[in-house]
Structure 1
Amino acid sequence: MAIFSARNRDATAYPIQSLFIPFPFVCFTLALATDIAFWQSGNLLWQNFSAWLLFAGLVFGGLAILVGVFDLLRPRTQPLRPTFLSALLYLLILVLAVANSLVHAGDGWTAVVPYGLALSAVTFVLCLVTAAVSARKYARLAWRV
Structure 2
Amino acid sequence: MAILSASDRDAAAYPIQSLFVPFPLVCFTLALATDIAFWQSGNVMWQNFSAWLLFAGLVFGALAIVAGLMDLLRPRTRPLRPPFLSSLLYLVILSLALANSLVHAGDGWTAVIPYGLALSAVTFFLCLVAAAVSARKYARLAWRI
Distance 2:63 2:3 in 1: 29
| CA deviation vs aligned residue, 1:66-85 (integer Å, no higher than 9, x gap) | 01001000011011100010
TM-score of the two chains, using structure 2 as the length reference: 0.94
Report what 1:39 is aligned to. Answer: 39
Amino acid at match of 1:37: A
Q: TM-score under structure 1 normalisation?
A: 0.94
In the alignment, structure 2 segments of 5+ residues that lack a partner are none
CA distance in 2, matches of 1:144, 1:123: 31
**Superposition deviation, residue 3 in structure 1:** 6.1
Partner Cα distance (1:78, 1:63) in 2:
18
**d(CA) in 2 for partners of 1:75 and 1:137?**
18
1:62 aligned onto 2:62: yes
Residue 107 of structure 2 aligns to a residue in which SS?
coil
Q: Which residue of 2 aligns with 1:18?
A: 18
Tell me, in whole angstroms, the C-alpha distance in 1 between the residues paired with 2:65 and 2:102: 20
Question: Cα RMSD over matched residues?
Answer: 1.7
Q: Which residue of 2 aligns with 1:134?
A: 134
CA shift, 1:5, in A, is 3.6
Query: What amino acid is the match of 1:113?
Result: I
How far apart in 2 are the matches of 1:3 and 1:18? 27
Partner of 2:78: 78
Distance in 1 (CA, whole Å) between partners of 2:100 and 2:78 is: 33
State how far apart, in whole Å, the 2-side matches of 1:59 and 1:117 are: 21
Kindly provide the CA deviation profile for residues 29-73 of structure 1, in whole angstroms up to 9, marking residues without a partner as x: 000000000000000000000000000000000000001001000
Q: What 5-or-longer segments of structure 1 have no aligned partner?
A: none
Q: Which runs of 4+ in 1 moved over 6 A?
A: none
2:119 alignment partner in structure 1: 119
| 1:91 matched to 2:91 | yes
